[in-house]
Structure 1
């Protein structure tokens, strides 16, 4: 066998071994992430009904006298709290899941990429939690107060427990995603799509976009829309500060500045 052919075969073997080792590590990381999720879920299952009672409190506290949540399906009194327990377990286990993802990806990143990715990953997680908490403690009570107030005369408001869970989870996800504005701003700046001066000049468009997005996401009342749009505008400004701290300007940008 000639030298080049042998080198090619050895290179193919090394590539296969490297790919196989990466797949083994990926499997290990996934198993750890799933294991963390299952441990938290097992702990939460006995408290599933209590968790649902807490989740329903913003609506139950504002229902008219005698009104209550209902279950329109036979199995929903069991499956809906269990579904909530899974979401809460995922919420709690997310730091472990993201750490396993980071541990798998980080060896392939450059030093400057790690320096930027670490704070962005931590900020994304914290901001998502803040968005969900803001929706639960501030927006949902205001939205349900409005919805119960505009209920037509003679109509009794009794919401299905599964539909309520789906609505609240959608609100949590939407508000958590909207609170990622600073992370999105830093990412587009780090990719070189825009620079800090362009981001500053786009403030008026960011404000308009915040109110448009809020109008689509929030329940149909002005208070909820403003309660999402204003934080998004403030978070945009926070993103500008983060770009200034974390993203080094290109030489052309420095010369222009």
Structure 2
């Protein structure tokens, strides 16, 4: 009977956590659905915003988007609305996730994890802005430079709406996720999987990896690859610098604690 009572007591907290998780997931889905409805209402304006880098890359009066399937633009607007809704509702979803996980963490763990939670959307937004304002205009001007004439026939760029949206989302997601490199490295360092010294020893391999990632996630033009590779390597070096600062701060804190303990022992 005692064993059954213990099992019942352990199942009760588990059910409470599952009920809480279900409630937070439902609230997150509801907020995402509301944001999707609002974004779908403004889908034309959002698509126009995403198409602006291409419109500015075209010569005046020549740019246009086409579609070859009757339903293509409808699904493009659905994707645009869903993409924008997730970006808008992400702070609420992250807050719900944090509210569910935080009660199970110690105060020191909360203090250590919270900066990573705050830095994630900021770094992702920085990467997305770099893609939108710098990389996409540069890449589009490079690609449109191949327009001209071949054998007396004009070569004209006629991008479809669906393909263009896929390319834009690839740019934004690739740069946004790549800019989360410091968060990943610092989390691995905090978990004891890697250290600053071990990362410092593999700089040459990091450079090769950064160039490889830039070549894979960006279109095959040197400008876009360089614009992604350079910030990624700078973020890597910035992560090492931040690790060094944290190590020195923790070392000074430990030294201060040891001196206080020594003074307390001497006074007694």
Flag whether TM exceeds 0.5 (same fold). yes
Rounded Cα–Cα distance in structure 2 between residues aligned with 1:55 and 1:196: 39
Q: Deviations over 1:81-133 (max 9, x none)?
A: 23201111110110110110111112222333222211111111211111111
Residue 49 of structure 2: which of 54, 67, 70 is its match? Answer: 54
Residue 58 of structure 2 aligns to a residue whose secondary structure is: coil
Residue 131 of structure 1: which of 122, 127, 132 is its match? Answer: 127
Q: Deviations over 1:54-103 (max 9, x none)?
A: 10111122235534111122122223123201111110110110110111
Match of 1:144 in 2: 140
Change (3 A) 1:245 1:24: farther
Match of 2:32 in 1: 37
Change (3 A) 1:12 1:95: same
> What is the CA distance between 1:152 and its match in structure 2?
5.7
- Contact conserved, 1:130 with 1:179, CA < 8 A, in 2? yes
- Contact conserved, 2:170 with 2:217, CA < 8 A, in 1? no
Change (3 A) 1:200 1:102: same
Match of 2:84 in 1: 88
Rounded Cα–Cα distance in structure 1 between residues aligned with 2:72 and 2:247: 49
Match of 2:263 in 1: none
Which moved further from structure 2: 59-68 or 8-17? 59-68
> What is the CA distance between 1:169 and its match in structure 2?
0.8
Match of 1:181 in 2: 181
Q: How many residues align?
A: 247
Rounded Cα–Cα distance in structure 2 between residues aligned with 1:76 and 1:199: 47
Q: CA-atom RMSD, angstroms? A: 2.1
5+ residue gaps, structure 1: 1-5
Rounded Cα–Cα distance in structure 2 between residues aligned with 1:102 and 1:45: 28
> What is the CA distance between 1:217 and its match in structure 2?
1.5
Rounded Cα–Cα distance in structure 1 between residues aligned with 2:126 and 2:215: 20
Rounded Cα–Cα distance in structure 2 between residues aligned with 1:132 and 1:229: 15
Rounded Cα–Cα distance in structure 1 between residues aligned with 2:14 and 2:74: 44
Determine if the alignment matches structure 1 residue 19 to structure 2 residue 7. Answer: no
Residue 99 of structure 1: which of 80, 91, 95 is its match? Answer: 95
5+ residue gaps, structure 2: 255-268
Rounded Cα–Cα distance in structure 2 between residues aligned with 1:102 and 1:203: 34
Rounded Cα–Cα distance in structure 2 between residues aligned with 1:120 and 1:67: 42
Match of 2:264 in 1: none
Q: Deviations over 1:223-244 (max 9, x none)?
A: 1111001100111122113323
Which moved further from structure 2: 13-22 or 65-74? 65-74
- Using the size of structure 1 for normalisation, the TM-score is 0.89
Which moved further from structure 2: 215-224 or 140-149? 215-224
Larger radius of gyration: 2
- Using the size of structure 2 for normalisation, the TM-score is 0.85
- Contact conserved, 1:37 with 1:93, CA < 8 A, in 2? yes
- Contact conserved, 2:66 with 2:160, CA < 8 A, in 1? yes
Determine if the alignment matches structure 1 residue 71 to structure 2 residue 100. Answer: no
Residue 42 of structure 2 aligns to a residue whose secondary structure is: helix
Match of 1:232 in 2: 232
Residue 61 of structure 1 aligns to a residue whose secondary structure is: helix
